[in-house]
Amino acid sequence: MRTGGHGSAERDFARVVELTGTGLSPQDVVAVARGGAKVALGEQARRVMEQSARVVARLSDSAEPVYGISTGFGSLATVAIPVERREELQRALVRSHAAGMGPAVEPEVVRAMLLLRARTFAMGRSGARPAVAEAMLALVLADALCEKFGNDSVEDLCAAVERYRRRLRPIDSR
């Protein structure tokens, strides 16, 4: 882990950008990525994320085949995963993407990527729990940055959260 300064942009440390489950303006992204603005997950976003996570939890306990929940991924999409191994499937997915290569990405780019992925989760359509978005926002707020995220996919960002989550405040399962 390395920390990165907020560049030469004007600092806006008093500003708080709230993720509501709708879009962010370019000004919001710049304020967080370059200006030092704080960011928080709003109650509306928390509610829709919890609702979406409940759907995924229900599907993960059923025999119904659902891509990436009760089946494998890609060419293994037709392979059924037993209920007792589905949590392992999700962990394996994160681990399989926990690598990257190439030069470091500018700190403001990493902050923007984490913010935008957390915003996507905050929309409540992915099944991610609020704790996932909060962990990503904690990385932004702690200015905890890492090297390039492989192919910049959700899984790569989740891997980064997993690697650094123990260095941050404990994350509950709200």
- H/E segment holding residue 17: strand 16-19
Known catalytic membership, residue 164: no
Maximum separation of any 2 CA atoms in the chain, in Å: 54
Task: Indicate the pairing of strand 2-3 with strand 144-145.
Answer: antiparallel
Q: Which of 27, 61, 67, 167 is catalytic?
A: 67
Query: Quick check: 165 and 114 in contact, CB under 8 A?
Result: no
Q: How far is the C-alpha of 146 from the C-alpha of 104, rounded, in Å?
A: 8
CA 116 to chain centre: 9
Give the amino acid at 73. F
Give the amino acid at 130. P
What positions carry a catalytic annotation? 67
